[in-house]
């Protein structure tokens, strides 16, 4: 199935993740990288996820907003955490991408990838613009 948000994952524009804790208190954080894994999964870079990780431990659902740099079209991805990886091919690729960002921004040593958080993509909704409509990504 075609994933309309795919260009949004190149890291040109920051993404945000929204989670809620066990009491329903929301938390929104920026994400350095959202990486395409396969047709049904994305991996998020876990570098500064203390609160986000705590929320995901009690509620594995999240919403991520990504932005397509070719026209600033925004997509909301409805996600469910499937696991955390601190080694392997997904982690290695995400680490290389985060290390590259750190080098380009002068943040080497600060941007340390703790893990790759792998999520199932349940849905993708294109936020309305003058010319866009919803896209179901299930």
Would you call 9 helix, strand, or coil by DSSP? helix
> Quick one: pLDDT at residue 121?
95
Q: How many residues does the chain have?
A: 138
Map out the domains of the chain with their CATH numbers.
6-126 (2.30.110.10)
**Contact (Cβ atoms closer than 8 angstroms) between residue 56 and residue 96:** no
**pLDDT tens digits, 11-22:** 667 899 999 999
> Quick one: pLDDT at residue 3?
62
pTM (two decimals): 0.82
- Residue 81 in tokens: 């955490």
Confidence of residue 130 (pLDDT cuts 50, 70, 90): low
> Quick one: pLDDT at residue 63?
97
What's 1's DSSP letter? Answer: -
């Amino acid at each position: 199935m075609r994933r309309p948000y795919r260009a949004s994952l190149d890291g040109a524009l920051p993404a945000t993740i929204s989670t809620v804790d066990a009491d329903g208190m929301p938390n929104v954080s920026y994400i350095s990288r959202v990486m395409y894994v396969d047709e049904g999964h994305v991996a998020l870079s876990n570098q500064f996820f203390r609160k986000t990780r705590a929320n995901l431990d009690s509620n594995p659902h999240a919403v991520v907003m990504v932005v397509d740099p070719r026209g600033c079209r925004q997509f909301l991805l409805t996600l469910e955490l499937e696991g955390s990886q601190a080694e392997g091919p997904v982690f290695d690729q995400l680490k290389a991408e985060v290390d590259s960002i750190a080098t380009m921004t002068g943040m080497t040593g600060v941007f340390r990838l703790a893990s790759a958080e792998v999520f199932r993509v349940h849905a993708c909704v294109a936020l309305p613009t003058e010319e866009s409509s919803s896209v179901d990504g299930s």
